[in-house]
A and B are shown apart, each in its own frame.
Chain A
């Protein structure tokens, strides 16, 4: 290393030139890449992550407005319309904690173990979700929140939201390594993501940007594989796995909170597989009858199952607001929401 004197003796003009060149070239190059991606139809999109989840997890406290915590997987994350919830339920603060692809019971347990949580939970589950094999799927998010979520990362994530909403190049699929890989393989540019995320973590699925029939086949295949890979539960053994979850729900209600287990609509092969493995009269209906907390299934409400599910599992974003309004109506009619 050179010494202090070298720093003082080097011409400041040299660094001025270097940094003007650096910033000008970098700005031009990045603007060119951004423009190129936008010409290919790419748009800025918020990226869901444990950090973004943690920003929502921060919001589950307080009584006024009352937190309305949405737990579940993709059907909740992409099915609940947050502006509609805010407009229709002014006494509540909707908090999206559902995580795409992962059943939610680890987060329910976390809320049950949190003595400061007294909000309302809508926990979107199906019979499969109660199995112990699926119990820990969302635990890494919970661990991240409790071990790594710091004031510094809160500020970082807030600024990252701004950047991701402004720049298509903030998407890793459009990053340098991905570009190089595709260029060497002669692969076409990636298609635009058919899910658009918001900073409140809700997502909009636009089925005009993807192949719903392909998605349908995919979900059916995944469901079949999951069912085949797990030991079959008798109603008794299944209910033994449900019981601790009900205890957790009861713990939340004992503190003045509320838990609503909700089975969202599915159709086609998805419905057939689930009904074949877990006939409702032996599983879900018994759960609904014995649960000390509220249980609502969309299948009991024709107005909810009437919404089209292009891939048998999820709702197109154009129907989200109407679906959410309908569900709120159902829950209000049952006295579960004010």
Chain B
């Protein structure tokens, strides 16, 4: 079920009413779990069984890890959960990609291999709930907490519908107390939650789907013929689309949870106002970047093995992070670019500016601009349908001679997308160190009401076709 659907409006109203009508916390949790599973099954009912099986297995394995005393036995259990989760994820998400890559590799040595045509449907949200489960088992293995004996509580942690299919990737430590402590809808939580839902839907429906997506699609669906202005506009439009799409989903998730009395961690904090690449990753998809840092980068050795191992670990983390996003080499290229950016930044900081000298305003602005353009360029590879398209857009971007001629022929929709993206970056720069909640709370109630009214009007007056949230496919 998508947040930007009538189905969700009806579903959410029914959940709010039913949840608050039940007297006991146990009953309300049962209700939330059933509602979450209905939310998931509304997409493809048979895959609910996979979610329940995965949940149950990881809940059980975590208890075995905790019960085992010998380090070797604990390790065996944690390896077992890692293997099972990655095999399931690999089968659904990477089988076709692996076989196609094998065929391409064999072709380079003259061996012809035609892989079977696999028509595997990717269970929605599998990358997200797999990471939920893995983080839980890893944390139990690291003795950060004892596993919950209550299957229902664990299943609600994994399956809680606001974050089930596209995050944020919540840690058990962030949810345990909230699940174990009785709560219900408060007037403030409902007011703020609905405001977040409105903001998220505005980002998704108005900005991502209506302003940015048509412009980005027009360029990337015909990348081979993109000229310089088209490439720049397409890159800008997709940069706007991917942020508004994914941040819109996360904002809706936070809002739906708040309305039910839960608080999910913020997932985006004005990333296009980042100054530097490590700063970008502290602001973009925060729950994923912290997951990759804690469970992948640190497990690989982090910065403990010397300078070059640190660079290697950074690069590996970002390559795997890229592949997590999708089964295509273009996602790996996107991860490689970010790995390269982070490594270069680290090298510069350690060798050219040791001691962390404070940057002046002009330098910070310049570095912020460089960060933004580099991040936008990386999105080209994220969006490109293949390496050919990525190269075609890349070549067009540096065709400075063709830029001015192309700019004169831009359409209204292209100019609007660029202007709205500029506005988006400006707003993020102005709100760089705050978040939507603080902004809502600071403004007078009437002004908040007028802002919400404007967003509601634009949502209703943007009746295009529904687009799936981009991150649903991950």
Q: Which residues from chain A sit less than 8 Å from chain B, CB to CB?
A: 1-4, 6-8, 10-12, 14-26, 29-30, 33, 49, 51, 147-148, 150-153, 155-156, 159-160, 163, 169-172, 174-177, 179-181, 184-185
Contact = CB atoms under 8 A, between A and B. Distances in A.
A21 B152 CA distance: 40
Contacts of A18: 191, 195, 445-446, 448-449, 452
A4 B265 CA distance: 12
Contact of B186 (A2, A8, A148): A8
Given A152-B1, A152-B43, A176-B461, A16 B191 contact: yes
A7 B463 contact: no
A26 B10 CA distance: 20
Given A15-B191, A21-B453, 13 more contacts: A1-B437, A12-B187, A17-B446, A18-B452, A21-B446, A21-B449, A22-B449, A22-B452, A25-B453, A26-B453, A30-B460, A147-B121, A163-B6
Interface of B: 1-2, 5-7, 10, 41-45, 121, 186-192, 194-195, 198, 206, 210-211, 258, 263, 265-266, 412-413, 416, 435, 437-438, 441, 445-446, 448-453, 456-458, 460-466, 468
B450 A21 contact: yes
A6 to B, nearest CB: 8
Nearest to B456: A26
Contacts of A19: 191, 194, 449, 452
Contacts, number: 150
A177 B211 CA distance: 8
A178 to B, nearest CB: 9
Contact of B5 (A11, A29, A152): A152
A36 to B, nearest CB: 12
Contacts of B5: 152-153, 156
Specify the main secondary structure of chain B where it touches its partner: helix
Contacts of A25: 449-450, 453
Given A2-B438, A163-B6, A175-B464, A22 B456 contact: yes
19 contacts: A1-B435, A4-B263, A10-B441, A15-B187, A15-B192, A16-B187, A20-B449, A25-B449, A26-B460, A150-B42, A150-B43, A152-B7, A153-B5, A153-B466, A171-B463, A175-B210, A177-B416, A181-B413, A185-B412
B41 A151 contact: yes
A175 B412 CA distance: 15
A152 B458 CA distance: 24
B461 A175 contact: yes
B456 A176 contact: no
Contacts of A153: 5, 7, 466
Nearest to B452: A22
User: 8 closest pairs, A vs B, by CB?
Assistant: A15-B191, A21-B449, A12-B187, A159-B6, A22-B452, A152-B42, A25-B453, A176-B461
B191 A159 contact: no
Contacts of B466: 51, 153, 156
Most buried by B among A12, A20, A21, A170: A21
B210 A160 contact: no
Most buried by B among A6, A11, A16, A151: A151
Given A16-B187, A29-B453, A177-B416, A152 B2 contact: yes
Contacts of B188: 7-8, 10-12, 14-15
A175 B210 CA distance: 10
A175 B205 CA distance: 12
A110 to B, nearest CB: 15
A113 to B, nearest CB: 13
